[in-house]
Amino acid sequence: MIPSNTILTDDFGRKHNYLRISLLEKCNLRCTYCMPADGIELSPKASLMTAEEIFSIAQTFVENGVDKIRLTGGEPLLRKDFPEIISKLASLEVSISITTNGILIDRHIDVLKQFNVNKINLSLDTLVASKFHTITLRNQFDKVIDNLHLLLNNDFQVKVNVVLMKGFNENEIIDFIKLTQFLPISIRFIEFMPFAGNEWDRSKMVSQNEILSQVEASFSAEDILKLEDEKNFTARAYKIKDFQGDFGIISSITNPFCDGCNRIRLTANGKIKNCLFSNSETDLLTPFRNGESITNLISESIKNKKKVRAGMVTIEEMDDPNLHFDNRSMIAIGG
């Protein structure tokens, strides 16, 4: 066992300084890989963290080494008290970012500017309006595109998250990359991952190698630049020579990056997940409401983190639904 002098260091020496907080389980889209067709049973409102509880629990994490917080959902901008949450978290010495589907950006852009939340991950799985409706069951494509440009025109740092699925959008990989020729954005291709209710199977997944094969067939070798990956990276980064933006590949299935993982997830109902794929959770909100310390619970959760993908080491194990069927749906985890 590697000695640890912080509650956020696990038994493999990984220091967790990045907290992802889900603000709610609701969304104004119905993306099929995220939301089960029959919906989910929402947590009662009384069991969700209030703005003050979000701040206080986050403060505990910050006091123990967290310096980066990302707000997710569902759709985080649906929280009526979103401005209050941002204003409270902005008082902590942390970098704050959000993941959003982009529909409500125009309503909140002044708040984001006010509190220096300038890093936005925007989910957009297709550049075709009709396919957007197919995957989201909503007609909001134009709104999302308009708000993407609104962010860029206001100097936000934008990453566009694209979940790739065979038979749906793998033929748009090059179209997305071509966007980076004239736009200063980072496209992030994400392998389709298994969660409750999304009917995952490996045949629907577009792997890292398949993505790169398309890139290599469309651009000359000397124009495909491998960039230096960020510390604790999730996306392996690339760029086409002379393009303004870049692109990356998040290959959680075929080429995981667990060795450098520094992320912790806090669900909207106050439960800590030490891995996106883990079906075990630790309730922080109940003891917090009872006036108890939560530091030991946080430490225990981090100590129990597996080395790779919640213990699913091989792709064959990922194929076994018995190992992940009782995990939450993506919408209830928060990414």
What percent of the chain lies above the pLDDT cut of 70? 89
Residue 171, Ramachandran bin (φ over 0: left; ψ between -120 and 50: alpha; else beta): alpha
pLDDT at residue 5 in the model: 56
**Angle CA 256–318–335, to nearest 5:** 60
Measured distance between the N- and C-terminal CA atoms of the chain, rounded to whole angstroms: 29
**Angle CA 43–261–159, to nearest 5:** 75
Closest of 251, 257, 258, 305 to residue 281, by C-alpha = 305
Q: How far apart are CA 182 and CA 245, in angstroms?
A: 8
Which pLDDT band, with edges at 50, 70 and 90, does 31 fall under? confident
Closest of 18, 273, 275, 276 to residue 284, by C-alpha = 273
User: Who wins on pLDDT, 289 or 40?
Assistant: 289
Strands 246-250 and 282-283 come out as unpaired
Q: How far apart are CA 309 and CA 325, in angstroms?
A: 14
Which pLDDT band, with edges at 50, 70 and 90, does 43 fall under? confident
Which pLDDT band, with edges at 50, 70 and 90, does 3 fall under? very low
Q: How far apart are CA 73 and CA 331, in angstroms?
A: 7
Which pLDDT band, with edges at 50, 70 and 90, does 123 fall under? very high
What percent of the chain lies above the pLDDT cut of 90? 74
Q: At residue 264, does pLDDT exceed 70?
A: yes
Query: What's the rounded mean pLDDT across residues 238-256?
Result: 94
pLDDT at residue 124 in the model: 97
Q: How far apart are CA 259 and CA 228, in angstroms?
A: 17
Q: For the chain, percent helix, then strand, then coil, each to nearest 5? A: 35, 20, 45
Q: 264 forms bridges with which residues in the sheet? A: 19
Which pLDDT band, with edges at 50, 70 and 90, does 6 fall under? confident
Query: What's the rounded mean pLDDT across residues 234-247?
Result: 97
Q: Which two tokens stand for residue 79?
A: 């929280």
